[in-house]
Amino acid sequence: MTILGNLLDNSLTALESVSENKNLYIKVVYDRGRVIISVKNTYVIPVKYVNGEIVSTKEDSENHGYGLKNIKKTVEKYDGYIEDDHANNTFSVDIILFVKPELNNE
């Protein structure tokens, strides 16, 4: 829930300031022991970096900006892979999580 909740919250926040050509793309797929999550959204407020990390552009940035960090922490915890990118006013996050098969104790 941490991953999808934060991805959607970040996307919807970015879309609030977009007046034309609002786009949100969400894809979640399970395939051969992997969960693949892809979220893309348009944005207009420039992405802000501090010390090489994306930070919140909200006025109260001390109490915001933890979403992407929490996503990355969760993906790392489960030995997954995450890639984020922003170009041409589209922010994208692609995640792969590996689902370990449950052992059947019958």
> For the chain, which domains are there?
2-98 (3.30.565.10)
pLDDT greater than 80 at residue 52: no
Q: How confident is the model at residue 20 (pLDDT cuts 50, 70, 90)?
A: very high
Q: How confident is the model at residue 30 (pLDDT cuts 50, 70, 90)?
A: very high
Write the CB contacts of 34 (distance below 8 Å, at least 6 apart in sequence): 96, 97, 98, 99
At 11, phi and psi to the nearest 5? -65, -45
3-state secondary structure of 4: helix
Q: What is the pLDDT of residue 99?
A: 86
Q: Please give the residue that has the higher pLDDT: either 9 or 104.
A: 9
Q: Where are the alpha helices (DSSP H) in the chain?
A: 2-16, 67-77
Q: What share of the chain is helix, strand, coil (3-state, %, to 5)?
A: 25, 35, 35
Q: What is the pLDDT of residues 61-104, one digit of tens each?
A: 554 456 778 888 999 998 899 999 989 999 999 999 998 776 55
**pLDDT exceeding 70 applies to what percent of the chain?**
81
pLDDT greater than 60 at residue 29: yes
Q: What is the distance between the alpha carbons of residues 93 and 11, in angstroms, rounded to a whole number?
A: 10
Q: What is the pLDDT of residue 97?
A: 95
With contact defined as beta carbons under 8 Å apart, do 43 and 90 qualify? yes
